[in-house]
Amino acid sequence: MSFLRNTWYAAAWGTEVKAGELFQRTLLNEPVVFFRDTQGSAQAISDRCPHRFAPLGMGILKGDAVRCPYHGLEFDGSGACVHNPHGDGAIPKAAKVKAYPLVERYSLLWIWMGDPHLADATLIPDFNCMDEDHWYVGKRYLHAKANYVLETDNIMDLSHIEFLHPSTLGGDGVKGALTSVQEEGNTVWSNRQTVAEIMPEFLYTAWNIPQGTPVDRWIDVRWDAPANMLLFSGAVATGLPRDKGVSTPIPHLFTPETETTTHYWFSVCFPKAMGEFAERFADEQAAAINRPFTDEDLPMLEAQQRMMGDASFWDLKPVLLIGDAGAIRARRVLDRMIAAEQPAGAK
């Protein structure tokens, strides 16, 4: 399987990489070790020492460099070996590791896995709702034993929530919702709105709407390659305009660990202008939706992956329904972008 390389991937919550500690994570089949230098800036380098291939993440942080746990070579954030404790201390020319462009923004560390000369921070999708200067952000991380594009399908086609999440996120009006799809450059929008829906109790409580009120609910999802999605979920009493209702931004970001395993970050965000109670509320809502994601979505996605085995999505010739339009459009855009990166003549 080919991954899109020249793009920004979510790599970690900023809080996962702590001062004075090493943090290991595999991304796109590549082992990476993260650390903060003495100025607090996050760095990312290959986790494999070029000497005897020991994981650098098992070592220790020495100032601005990572010391290999096996023979003590030290590597800084540029990937250069800066200390050889053996012999006369001469550093072999080949003693270096890959360094990855890394940007800390919107509560996340974003990593560029392709040509470092093409890394442009302005290409990071807008997730300003996770800017902790202005928003309270309830954060969670999950690990899925499924391909990351199956995760995209799950978020872009939310017709499943009536059936997979009947007591939490679902509602019997979702399958008949009004849907639309827009493609703006390489960005895809998948929009869904119900009319006069009776929602599960959890959602009335979350949005402070009287229980049993018929509502028009919207679930609009913005997708940017490779699998960075911002979901806007909200509702208003039927008959009122949308701007009289409540809408909550819920980011979902997926990064492949391997072809069949995925890192998953999601959050629930409330503006600080709502007051200090919104900080607790953001975390409570993140915890609340963590349950259906963990207990309902992940088991289904992992079961899908097992049923697919090594076959590709397209080779299995999937039957398509009306609700698939957004997810299929995103897959087509991603396939096009990956193909554009391949050398001429490559298959």
**Residue 346 maps to a domain:** no
What tens-digit pLDDT sequence spans the chain (347 residues)?
799 999 999 999 999 999 999 999 999 999 999 999 999 999 999 999 999 999 999 999 999 999 999 999 999 999 999 999 999 999 999 999 999 999 999 999 999 999 999 999 999 999 999 999 999 999 999 999 999 999 999 999 888 877 787 666 655 666 667 889 999 999 999 998 888 888 877 778 778 899 999 999 898 999 999 999 999 988 999 999 998 988 899 999 999 999 999 999 999 999 999 888 889 989 998 998 898 899 899 999 999 999 999 999 999 999 998 889 999 999 999 999 999 998 765 55
Instruction: State both tokens at 187.
Output: 């960005």
Q: What is the pTM of this model?
A: 0.93
Query: Of 146, 126, 130, which Cα lies nearest the Cα of 138?
Result: 130
DSSP reduced 3-state for 5: coil
Q: Are 109 and 32 in contact (CB under 8 A)?
A: no
Task: Report the CATH number that the domain containing residue 45 is assigned in CATH.
Answer: 2.102.10.10
DSSP reduced 3-state for 101: coil
**Residue 1 maps to a domain:** no
Domain extent for 67 = 8-124
**Residue 2 maps to a domain:** no
Same domain, 45 and 155: no
Q: Are 186 and 154 in contact (CB under 8 A)?
A: no
Same domain, 294 and 334: yes
Instruction: Count up the domains in the chain and report the number.
Output: 2
Query: Of 293, 263, 306, which Cα lies nearest the Cα of 144?
Result: 263
Beta bridge partners of 31: 26
Query: In angstroms, rounded to a whole number, what is the distance separating the alpha carbons of residues 29 and 212?
Result: 48
